[in-house]
């Protein structure tokens, strides 16, 4: 299942997320909010894989 996430949204699944613009990967933890991409400042991410 493909999940899309946007900066400012609450993280519902802890995992590695990939910026849809530059491919930079960021780790996000459940309960936090998505940051903007640290490289290109884009605001859209897709879930690559879950972490515990």
36 vs 52, which CB is nearer to Zn ion? 36
One DSSP character per residue, 10-42 reads BPSS-EEEEETTT--EEEE-TTSBPPPPTTT--
5 is a contact residue toward Zn ion (CB under 5 A): no
29 is a contact residue toward Zn ion (CB under 5 A): no
Q: Which of 19, 28, 34, 47 contacts Zn ion by CB under 5 A?
A: 19
Q: Which of 27, 29, 32, 40 contacts Zn ion by CB under 5 A?
A: 40
Distance CA 8, CA 22 (A): 19
């Amino acid at each position: 299942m493909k999940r899309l996430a946007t900066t400012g949204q609450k993280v519902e699944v802890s995992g590695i997320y990939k910026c849809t613009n530059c491919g930079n990967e960021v780790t996000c933890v459940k309960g936090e909010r998505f940051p903007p991409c640290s490289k290109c400042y884009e605001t859209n991410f897709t879930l690559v894989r879950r972490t515990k």
